[in-house]
Chains A and B, each alone.
Chain A
């Protein structure tokens, strides 16, 4: 021991000398303060500081590499200079950075050694790292739930892919959320959902473990996934709500929360008042999988085909129409031919009614409810689009968006019912009974399709290709009839599915849960069909066709000139003249205020619709 003291005094002297000689040389001073490890081992002779330390992961370090604060052996031996917690971050800087987020440090002031108590004998572990992590955490935390889980079984079998504590909670940046107390609900849920997704979207890892890496994608296509994706994870089921936390088991295990026998209880933790068939709802189905989800697959195929066929036909129709009209207009301009309206007789400038006040109000209600439905529904459909969250926050959150969506849906349903009533009254007028209903149904004033519509379609295509004259239309053209029936068809598809999804628990008393999956696909795809159809085809046919561009305010003013009637609906004009009914339809020319308001409403709607269409097409093309 005396020898040790002498050596130490010599060392101190040497250090002092160096400090005076080279005060700026920090590295040298640092080295000079080191106490030789063998000196330490003279007292700390336990094997964990000897051979076990030498063969440990840190064996190449000296004692003073870590215990830098022991600089005076005498003070240390007298108990005055005690070792402070080691600054492991000097070497493990990345982990030290993560540790600043660690709950155990922030709240309990844990230091590295509190978990790594075997630091002097610790060997670098790669194979059994997860097992060791579990052993470490469960020294304090109960493991009863975890050990019976599929993840634990995997780890114990040596599967390095299986999740140990650190994979979900973070290892050196362990988070603590009192999720059950709803203290950090959003943050906690997003954190844990992200952790689950981190592994379960890893293609290679999932392939190794016979699991699908697309399950997360399928979840994100459901209502739960979309609401979570748009930033409201506390309102819907995340991974752990159904699969639970530590006791995650496959659905074939009777103890599993997702075992068929446990689903009523599992779903019942969030949903109430449902029929037990509610649980046949698929939480993350793959509707492209014909074998396992045939009904969803065929629904998706049908809806996708409907979209493709409809748009293929009408977009081609629109393009050809534009080409023909534009070329005709060009020819007129080139040859100096004035439009017919300029050469019309004076009386033909007079206005006649096409849409009554009630019809115009109905259309305004239709516009406002339709835009509300689109602007509240599509941010969920395309929750991943950069604009989705902006829309949702505009409405005041996803719950408020849902409320407005339902209010608008109610308005639309009332409109639909009223229109259906008017149709009924058209075919069966008051005081007439059923006699002559067939004639009325197929009359030119009816919106019901008739053979002439087919002839008109053919005629239009011949006109597009310069093979004939433009067909002579009566009161309703075939594309106007399609617009009308599209809403009717749409109301059955989108309205029916929407009503089922309105309160899914109640719907389970009518249909099983898996029908709600189908309803979701139908509602979503039909919405896309309706929105894009209105914002492209309807907008063009009614407003952007070269004769009308940039808009036709007829639907807002309700009247147009006799000359326009004669030009657009010649057969109706001739009928009215023959029946001497034209005079009764004559109205005053719309005033400037009505014209201006019509233009403002119309152009704003067109602009909004086009913007929305552009946003949707952007998502469809680039997502």
Chain B
């Protein structure tokens, strides 16, 4: 039994050691994947219910940092549309004496965190990020407003595994990468052109009207609305299911299988 007790104690110690190691690894991963969110913690987070209460009771600045097309399509009532990529240059127009709440469409809030970091750097003190982003707001059942809603139309999506076949079957295509300039520079599909989503409403006419547009984004969450927008403008559009993230996973698996 002594052996049993010592074994258990050792196992507990070992467990605890394992947990510590796992926590350290997790933290390292978080830093690696979300450097902006993990580094500065000067801003605070606010949950959807509290934000809802603030909007009823006090004047605050609410900033939607998605692209103008997305923001005008649907946003929390009273939001200003300031794309994440242009947040810095618009900071001077945001009053510093009021609470500034930033949100985006992603529940990871990467774009919000990046914008919040910019605001803090510019001397804003009451900076908040909506916890869980717009999905959390919607999940609570709170309403949105639509100023220029893009009509949703069926957009065919192509999975990573079927991409090469689709590209071969449609030689007359153009690949449109709507990610940010920096993401595009890091990696992109061969032959892809880059018009970041926040500029699409100004630059869509640069696309050739007579070619099928194959829209690519980060994770497959934004390409649908961009595609609907382009379809509304008269383009023939198809999109990559799961975006570059799933494409990369597919390539990685393919490599492993080989």
A-B pairs with beta carbons under 8 Å apart, 13 shown: A85-B149, A101-B139, A105-B138, A107-B221, A109-B138, A180-B246, A180-B253, A364-B2, A367-B4, A372-B4, A395-B15, A597-B2, A605-B4
Q: How far is the CA of A85 from the CA of B18 in the complex (A)?
A: 52
By the criterion CB–CB under 8 Å, are A108 and B225 in contact?
A: yes
Q: How far is the CA of A427 from the CA of B81 in the complex (A)?
A: 90
> Is chain B's interface secondary structure helix, strand, loop, or mixed overall?
helix
Q: Which residue of B lies closest to A601 (CB)?
A: B1
0/1 interface trace, chain A 133-151, chain B, CB 8 Å (1 if under)? 0000001111010000000
By the criterion CB–CB under 8 Å, are A142 and B144 in contact?
A: no
Question: Residue B183 at the A interface, CB < 8 A?
Answer: no
By the criterion CB–CB under 8 Å, are B157 and A605 in contact?
A: no
Question: Residue B158 at the A interface, CB < 8 A?
Answer: yes
By the criterion CB–CB under 8 Å, are B249 and A181 in contact?
A: yes
Q: Using a Cβ–Cβ cut-off of 8 Å, how many residues does chain B contribute to the interface with A?
A: 40
By the criterion CB–CB under 8 Å, are B19 and A396 in contact?
A: yes
Question: Residue B78 at the A interface, CB < 8 A?
Answer: no
Q: Which residue of A lies closest to B248 (CB)?
A: A181
Q: How far is the CA of A142 from the CA of B239 in the complex (A)?
A: 11
Contacts of A367 in B (CB 8 A): 1, 3-4
Contacts of B19 in A (CB 8 A): 396
Top 3 closest A-B pairs, CB basis? Answer: A601-B1, A139-B154, A114-B152
Contacts of B245 in A (CB 8 A): 178, 181
Q: Find residues 220-253 in chain B having any chain A CB closer than 8 Å to their own CB.
A: 221, 224-225, 241-242, 245-246, 249-250, 253
By the criterion CB–CB under 8 Å, are B246 and A604 in contact?
A: no
Q: Beyond A139-B154, A400-B15, list 19 extra A-B contacts (CB 8 Å).
A: A85-B146, A106-B134, A106-B139, A114-B152, A140-B154, A142-B156, A142-B241, A178-B219, A180-B242, A364-B1, A364-B3, A365-B3, A367-B3, A367-B4, A372-B7, A396-B11, A396-B14, A404-B11, A605-B1
Question: Residue B159 at the A interface, CB < 8 A?
Answer: yes
A interface with B by C-beta (< 8 Å): 84-85, 100-101, 105-111, 114, 139-142, 144, 178, 180-181, 364-365, 367-368, 371-372, 395-396, 400, 404, 597, 600-602, 604-605
Q: Which residue of A lies closest to B151 (CB)?
A: A114
Contacts of A601 in B (CB 8 A): 1-2
> Looking at B2, B3, B11, B14, which has the most chain A CB atoms within 10 Å of its CB?
B3
Q: How far is the CA of A139 from the CA of B134 in the complex (A)?
A: 26
Q: How far is the CA of A139 from the CA of B153 in the complex (A)?
A: 9
Q: Find residues 103-126 in chain B having any chain A CB closer than 8 Å to their own CB.
A: 105
Question: Residue B85 at the A interface, CB < 8 A?
Answer: no
Nearest CB on B from A7, distance (A): 30
Question: Residue B208 at the A interface, CB < 8 A?
Answer: no
A100-B139, A178-B246, A395-B15 are known contacts. Are A109 and B154 too (CB-CB below 8 A)?
A: no
Question: Residue B95 at the A interface, CB < 8 A?
Answer: no
Q: Which residue of B lies closest to A111 (CB)?
A: B152
Question: Residue B74 at the A interface, CB < 8 A?
Answer: yes
By the criterion CB–CB under 8 Å, are B4 and A368 in contact?
A: yes
Question: Residue B35 at the A interface, CB < 8 A?
Answer: no
By the criterion CB–CB under 8 Å, are A368 and B139 in contact?
A: no
By the criterion CB–CB under 8 Å, are A396 and B138 in contact?
A: no
Nearest CB on A from B198, distance (A): 17
Contacts of B138 in A (CB 8 A): 100, 105-106, 109
By the criterion CB–CB under 8 Å, are A396 and B4 in contact?
A: no
Contacts of B149 in A (CB 8 A): 85
By the criterion CB–CB under 8 Å, are B157 and A140 in contact?
A: yes
A100-B141, A105-B138 are known contacts. Are A142 and B1 too (CB-CB below 8 A)?
A: no
Q: How far is the CA of A600 from the CA of B149 in the complex (A)?
A: 75
Question: Residue B36 at the A interface, CB < 8 A?
Answer: no
Question: Residue B91 at the A interface, CB < 8 A?
Answer: no
Contacts of A142 in B (CB 8 A): 156-159, 162, 241
Q: How far is the CA of A602 from the CA of B246 in the complex (A)?
A: 58
Nearest CB on A from B146, distance (A): 7
Nearest CB on B from A464, distance (A): 32
By the criterion CB–CB under 8 Å, are A400 and B224 in contact?
A: no
Contacts of A108 in B (CB 8 A): 152, 221, 224-225
Q: How far is the CA of A600 from the CA of B158 in the complex (A)?
A: 67
Contact of B74 among A109, A139, A368, A372 (CB under 8 A): A109
Q: Which residue of A lies closest to B155 (CB)?
A: A140
Contact of A368 among B7, B14, B15 (CB under 8 A): B7
Contacts of A107 in B (CB 8 A): 105, 135, 221
Q: Which residue of A lies closest to B138 (CB)?
A: A106
Contacts of B162 in A (CB 8 A): 142, 144
Q: Which residue of A lies closest to B105 (CB)?
A: A107
By the criterion CB–CB under 8 Å, are A600 and B139 in contact?
A: no
By the criterion CB–CB under 8 Å, are B1 and A600 in contact?
A: yes
Q: Which residue of A lies closest to B224 (CB)?
A: A108
Q: Find residues 29-65 in chain B having any chain A CB closer than 8 Å to their own CB.
A: none
Q: How far is the CA of A367 from the CA of B144 in the complex (A)?
A: 65
Q: Which residue of A lies closest to B107 (CB)?
A: A106
By the criterion CB–CB under 8 Å, are B73 and A109 in contact?
A: yes
Nearest CB on B from A597, distance (A): 7
Contacts of B15 in A (CB 8 A): 395-396, 400
> Looking at B1, B138, B249, which has the most chain A CB atoms within 10 Å of its CB?
B1
Contacts of A404 in B (CB 8 A): 11
Nearest CB on B from A180, distance (A): 6
Q: How far is the CA of A110 from the CA of B158 in the complex (A)?
A: 20
Nearest CB on A from B54, distance (A): 22
Q: How far is the CA of A604 from the CA of B4 in the complex (A)?
A: 10
Contacts of A395 in B (CB 8 A): 11, 15
Q: Which residue of B lies closest to A604 (CB)?
A: B1
0/1 interface trace, chain B 9-21, chain A, CB 8 Å (1 if under)? 0010011001100
Q: How far is the CA of A601 from the CA of B19 in the complex (A)?
A: 30
Nearest CB on A from B164, distance (A): 14
Contacts of B159 in A (CB 8 A): 142
Nearest CB on A from B60, distance (A): 23
Q: Find residues 123-172 in chain B having any chain A CB closer than 8 Å to their own CB.
A: 134-135, 138-139, 141, 144, 146, 149, 152, 154-159, 162
Contact of A140 among B156, B225, B242 (CB under 8 A): B156
Nearest CB on B from A487, distance (A): 17
By the criterion CB–CB under 8 Å, are A371 and B4 in contact?
A: yes
Nearest CB on B from A452, distance (A): 34
Q: Which residue of A lies closest to B19 (CB)?
A: A396
A180-B249, A395-B11 are known contacts. Are A106 and B146 too (CB-CB below 8 A)?
A: no
Q: How far is the CA of A30 from the CA of B7 in the complex (A)?
A: 73
Contacts of B14 in A (CB 8 A): 396
